[in-house]
């Protein structure tokens, strides 16, 4: 009987020790409020790339009309061949000429019930790599019979031009914002957690309408191209 009493007393003492120890361990494993490593600030920075275009896409074509569909297409083919010869004669390479579209549609009378004729259209996209030649190419094409144009799109041959510099500027812009936010929250910036680039920078082609008529050479003034680069950066706060 004495042995059983001693064992029960020892078990009770061990239970009390465990009860006192476990809460202590739980408390030391939890970070103090406001000092944990999960504090961070997320900021988006941006930078703008400005570049002068070095090439342009000029859309030129021919529209013809005839009583029959076949006649409209034949006239159109003849006129378009003349325009193509004029463009190639200005030094444009065949690989820089691509068909934009070919269209054939009926024309109706005033009542909208009877077909009176057919119209045919054919346009090509001409990539001009010497911007000083745009005006003369347009003029020569018009002289050869071109009577359609969808204008000019200026663009860059190297779409990644200036991107690396802009990304550095965007990150610097994000850091300046993050430092202001951290200071307002009585904290400092720690190490970078993540950096995410926004949508890939693209220089959107700039439409430009040109007057293809008149005796003087068509004047062309290329615009400045702009595109924005964005990055989202997460900093740890300390």
Residue 235 has pLDDT above 80, yes or no: yes
Sequential DSSP letters for 59-74 = EEEEEEEESSHHHHHH
| Burial letters 117-149, b for 16+ CB under 10 A, else e | ebbbbbbbbbbbeebebbbebbbbbbebbbeeb
**Which structure tokens are listed for 43?**
């900021």
**Which structure tokens are listed for 17?**
């020790």
pLDDT of residue 126: 98
**Using 50, 70 and 90 to split pLDDT, how confident is the model at 214?**
very low
Rounded average pLDDT over 139-145: 96
The candidate with the shortest Cα–Cα distance to 76, out of 86, 65, 91, 67, is: 65
Rounded average pLDDT over 56-62: 96
**Interval 11-35: pLDDT, tens:** 544 444 444 444 443 433 444 444 4
104 φ/ψ angles, rounded to the nearest 5 degrees: -140, 125
Number of H helices, E strands in the chain: 4, 8
pLDDT of residue 205: 57
What Å distances lie between residue 110 and 31, 107, 115, 119, 203, CA to CA? 83, 10, 10, 16, 45
pTM over 0.75: no
Average pLDDT, the chain: 83
pLDDT of residue 206: 56
Please, which residues bridge with residue 22 across strands? none
Residues 6+ apart with CB under 8 A from 198: 44, 229, 230, 231, 232
Cβ neighbour number for residue 28 with a 10 Å cutoff: 7
Residue 127 has pLDDT above 90, yes or no: yes
- Distance between CA atoms of 124 and 64, rounded to whole angstroms? 15
**Interval 84-111: pLDDT, tens:** 999 999 999 999 999 999 999 999 999 9
**Which structure tokens are listed for 236?**
């740890």
**Interval 181-192: pLDDT, tens:** 999 999 999 999
């Amino acid at each position: 009987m004495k042995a059983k009493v001693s064992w029960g007393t020892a078990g009770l003492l061990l239970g009390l020790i465990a009860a006192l120890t476990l809460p202590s361990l739980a408390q030391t494993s939890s970070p103090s409020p406001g000092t944990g490593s999960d504090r961070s600030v997320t900021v988006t920075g941006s930078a703008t790339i400005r570049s002068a275009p070095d090439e342009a896409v000029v859309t030129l074509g021919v529209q013809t009309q005839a009583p029959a569909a076949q006649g409209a297409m034949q006239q159109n083919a003849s006129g378009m061949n003349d325009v193509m010869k004029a463009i190639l004669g200005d030094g444009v390479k065949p690989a820089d000429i691509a068909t934009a579209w070919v269209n054939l549609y009926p024309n109706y009378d005033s009542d909208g019930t009877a077909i009176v004729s057919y119209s045919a259209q054919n346009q090509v996209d001409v990539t001009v790599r010497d911007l000083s030649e745009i005006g003369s190419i347009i003029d020569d094409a018009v002289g050869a019979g071109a009577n359609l144009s969808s204008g000019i799109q200026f663009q860059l041959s190297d779409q990644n031009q200036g991107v690396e510099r802009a990304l550095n500027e965007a990150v610097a812009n994000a850091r300046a914002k993050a430092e202001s936010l951290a200071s307002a929250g009585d904290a400092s910036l720690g190490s970078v957690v993540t950096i995410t680039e926004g949508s890939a920078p693209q220089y959107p082609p700039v439409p430009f309408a040109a007057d293809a008529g008149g005796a003087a050479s068509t004047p062309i003034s290329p615009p400045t191209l702009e595109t924005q680069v964005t990055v989202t950066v997460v900093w740890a706060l300390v």
